[in-house]
Structure 1
Amino acid sequence: MAGDLGGQGLHDALVILGAAGVVIPAFARLRISPVIGFILVGVAIGPAGLGSLANGHPWLETITIDDRGRIEPFAEIGILMLLFGIGLELSFRRLWAMRGRVFGLGGLQMLATGLVLSCGLMLIGALEPLPAAILGLALAMSSTAIVMPLTGTVSATGQVAFAILLLQDLSLIPLLLVLDAKSGTGALLTVLVGGLAVIAGLLLVGRFLLPRLFAQAARTKSPELFLAISLLVVMLASIATGSVGLGAAAGALIAGLLIAETDYHAEVEVITAPLRGLALGIFLITVGMRLDLGALYAAWPQLLAATAAVLLIKAAVIFSLLRFHRSRLATAVETGLLMASPSELTLIVLSGAFAAGVLSASTAAFWTLVTALGLTLTPLLAALGRRMARRVDPQSLASGVSDTSGVTLIFGFGRVGRIIADMMAEHGRPYVAVDGDIDCVAAAREQGYKVIFGDVARGDAVERFGLSEAAAVVLTMDDPVLTVRLSKDIRVACPELSIVARARDGAHAAQLYRAGATDAVPETMEGSLQMSEAILVDIGVAMGPVIASIHEKRSQLRAQIREAGELAEEPALGRRR
Structure 2
Amino acid sequence: MTGLFLQAFIYLIAAVIAVPIAKRLGLGSVLGYLIAGVVIGPVVGLVGSETTTIQHFAEFGVVMMLFLVGLELEPKMLWAMRNKLLGLGGLQLGITAAAVMGIALVLSLQWSIALAIGMIFALSSTAIVLQTFNEKRLTKTEGGRSAFSVLLFQDIAVIPMLAFIPLLALPELVEKAQAAAAGAAEHHEQLSLVAGLPGWALGLVITATIAGVVVGGHYLSRPLFRFVASSGLREIFTATALMLVIGIAALMSLVGLSPALGTFLAGVVLANSEFRHELESNIEPFKGLLLGLFFITVGAGINFGILFNDFFVIIGLTLGLMVLKALVLLLLSFIFRIKGSARWLFALSLAQAGEFGFVLLSFSTQNHVIPTELAQLLSLVVALSMFLTPGLFILYDKVILPRYEKASNDREPDEIDEQGTVIIAGVGRFGQVVNRLLTANGVKTVVLDHEATQVENLRQINIKSYFGDATRPDLLHTAGIEEAAILVVSMDNQEASTELVEYVKHTYPHVKILARAFDRGHAYMLRHSGADYVIKETYRSALAMGGEALLSLGVHPFEVEQKKATFNRIEKESSETLYETWMGGEESQSYDVHYQHLFIQLEETIKEAMDADRMDRHAMTEREWTPPPKNYLDDFEDDADKSSEQPGEEKPA
Please give the TM-score of this superposition, normalised by the length of structure 1: 0.65
Cα distance, 1:505 vs. partner? 7.4
CA distance in 2: counterparts of 1:197 and 1:180, whole angstroms? 24
One-letter amino acid of the structure 2 residue matched with residue 50 of structure 1: V
Q: Does 1:241 align with 2:223?
A: no
Q: Does 1:374 align with 2:385?
A: yes
Q: Does 1:300 align with 2:311?
A: yes
Cα distance, 1:525 vs. partner? 7.0
Alpha carbons of structure 1 residues 331 and 565: separation in structure 2 relative to 1, 3 Å: same
Q: Residue 30 of structure 2 corresponds to which residue in structure 1?
A: 35
Cα distance, 1:375 vs. partner? 0.9
Q: Residue 558 of structure 2 corresponds to which residue in structure 1?
A: 527
| Aligned pairs (5 A) from 1:150-299 | 150-151=132-133, 152-179=138-165, 191-219=202-230, 222-246=233-257, 248-260=259-271, 262-299=273-310
CA distance in 1: counterparts of 2:370 and 2:265, whole angstroms? 27
Secondary structure of the structure 2 residue equivalent to 1:135: helix
Q: Residue 403 of structure 2 corresponds to which residue in structure 1?
A: 391
CA distance in 2: counterparts of 1:83 and 1:280, whole angstroms? 12
> Computing the radius of gyration over CA atoms, which structure comes out larger, 1 or 2?
2
Alpha carbons of structure 1 residues 504 and 370: separation in structure 2 relative to 1, 3 Å: closer
| Aligned pairs (5 A) from 1:121-520 | 121-129=104-112, 131-151=113-133, 152-179=138-165, 191-219=202-230, 222-246=233-257, 248-260=259-271, 262-386=273-397, 387-391=399-403, 394-395=406-407, 499-500=541-542
Q: Does 1:559 align with 2:569?
A: yes
CA distance in 2: counterparts of 1:217 and 1:502, whole angstroms? 38
Secondary structure of the structure 1 residue equivalent to 2:86: helix
1:83-141 alpha-carbon deviations (Å, 9 max, x no partner)? 43444445533311211222222222222222222222223222423x43333232222
8 Å CA contact 1:181–1:187 kept in 2: the answer is no
Q: Residue 44 of structure 2 corresponds to which residue in structure 1?
A: 50
8 Å CA contact 2:55–2:298 kept in 1: the answer is no
Q: Residue 89 of structure 2 corresponds to which residue in structure 1?
A: 106
CA distance in 2: counterparts of 1:274 and 1:567, whole angstroms? 50
CA distance in 2: counterparts of 1:148 and 1:344, whole angstroms? 13
Alpha carbons of structure 1 residues 254 and 11: separation in structure 2 relative to 1, 3 Å: farther
1:447-505 alpha-carbon deviations (Å, 9 max, x no partner)? xxxxxxxxxxxxxxxxxxxxxxxxxxxxxxxxxxxxxxxxx9xxxxxx96785466777
Unaligned regions of 5+ residues in structure 1, if any? Answer: 1-5, 52-62, 398-404, 407-487, 489-494, 510-519, 533-552
1:346-377 alpha-carbon deviations (Å, 9 max, x no partner)? 22322332233322222222121111111111
One-letter amino acid of the structure 2 residue matched with residue 165 of structure 1: L
CA distance in 2: counterparts of 1:50 and 1:239, whole angstroms? 36
1:156-202 alpha-carbon deviations (Å, 9 max, x no partner)? 22222222222222222332343478789966555444333322222
Alpha carbons of structure 1 residues 391 and 571: separation in structure 2 relative to 1, 3 Å: closer
1:249-268 alpha-carbon deviations (Å, 9 max, x no partner)? 44444444443353432332
2:21 maps to which of 14, 26, 35: 26
Secondary structure of the structure 2 residue equivalent to 1:141: coil
CA distance in 1: counterparts of 2:219 and 2:594, whole angstroms? 54
Alpha carbons of structure 1 residues 176 and 557: separation in structure 2 relative to 1, 3 Å: same
Alpha carbons of structure 1 residues 230 and 521: separation in structure 2 relative to 1, 3 Å: closer
Cα distance, 1:390 vs. partner? 4.0
CA distance in 1: counterparts of 2:92 and 2:32, whole angstroms? 30
What count of residue pairs does the alignment treat as equivalent?
436
8 Å CA contact 2:15–2:32 kept in 1: the answer is no
Cα distance, 1:44 vs. partner? 1.8
One-letter amino acid of the structure 2 residue matched with residue 64 of structure 1: V
1:551-572 alpha-carbon deviations (Å, 9 max, x no partner)? xx97565333676799999979
Cα distance, 1:314 vs. partner? 0.7
Secondary structure of the structure 2 residue equivalent to 1:132: helix
Alpha carbons of structure 1 residues 557 and 71: separation in structure 2 relative to 1, 3 Å: closer
One-letter amino acid of the structure 2 residue matched with residue 290 of structure 1: G
One-letter amino acid of the structure 2 residue matched with residue 391 of structure 1: R
One-letter amino acid of the structure 2 residue matched with residue 45 of structure 1: I
1:499-534 alpha-carbon deviations (Å, 9 max, x no partner)? 54667779x98xxxxxxxxxx99974732488x9xx
Secondary structure of the structure 2 residue equivalent to 1:209: helix
CA distance in 1: counterparts of 2:58 and 2:210, whole angstroms? 24
One-letter amino acid of the structure 2 residue matched with residue 78 of structure 1: G
Q: Does 1:12 align with 2:16?
A: no
Alpha carbons of structure 1 residues 529 and 40: separation in structure 2 relative to 1, 3 Å: closer
CA distance in 2: counterparts of 1:270 and 1:278, whole angstroms? 14
8 Å CA contact 1:288–1:372 kept in 2: the answer is yes
Secondary structure of the structure 1 residue equivalent to 2:47: coil
CA distance in 2: counterparts of 1:227 and 1:529, whole angstroms? 41
Alpha carbons of structure 1 residues 18 and 180: separation in structure 2 relative to 1, 3 Å: farther
8 Å CA contact 1:390–1:396 kept in 2: the answer is no
Instruction: Say what the alpha-carbon RMSD is for the aligned residues.
Output: 4.1
8 Å CA contact 1:503–1:522 kept in 2: the answer is no
1:257-300 alpha-carbon deviations (Å, 9 max, x no partner)? 44335343233223322221111110001101210011111111
Alpha carbons of structure 1 residues 524 and 255: separation in structure 2 relative to 1, 3 Å: closer
CA distance in 1: counterparts of 2:242 and 2:18, whole angstroms? 26
Cα distance, 1:242 vs. partner? 2.0
CA distance in 2: counterparts of 1:96 and 1:105, whole angstroms? 15
Alpha carbons of structure 1 residues 263 and 344: separation in structure 2 relative to 1, 3 Å: farther
Alpha carbons of structure 1 residues 15 and 256: separation in structure 2 relative to 1, 3 Å: farther
Unaligned regions of 5+ residues in structure 2, if any? Answer: 170-194, 410-427, 430-518, 520-535, 580-591, 601-653
Alpha carbons of structure 1 residues 200 and 206: separation in structure 2 relative to 1, 3 Å: same
CA distance in 2: counterparts of 1:363 and 1:529, whole angstroms? 76
Over the matched positions of the two proteins, sequence identity in percent amounts to: 28
Cα distance, 1:301 vs. partner? 0.8
CA distance in 2: counterparts of 1:356 and 1:365, whole angstroms? 15
Secondary structure of the structure 1 residue equivalent to 2:31: helix
CA distance in 1: counterparts of 2:126 and 2:259, whole angstroms? 18
Cα distance, 1:65 vs. partner? 3.6
One-letter amino acid of the structure 2 residue matched with residue 388 of structure 1: I
CA distance in 2: counterparts of 1:344 and 1:567, whole angstroms? 64
CA distance in 2: counterparts of 1:145 and 1:109, whole angstroms? 18
CA distance in 2: counterparts of 1:313 and 1:81, whole angstroms? 30
8 Å CA contact 2:330–2:343 kept in 1: the answer is yes
1:119 maps to which of 102, 111, 119: 102
8 Å CA contact 2:141–2:342 kept in 1: the answer is no
One-letter amino acid of the structure 1 residue matched with residue 221 of structure 2: L
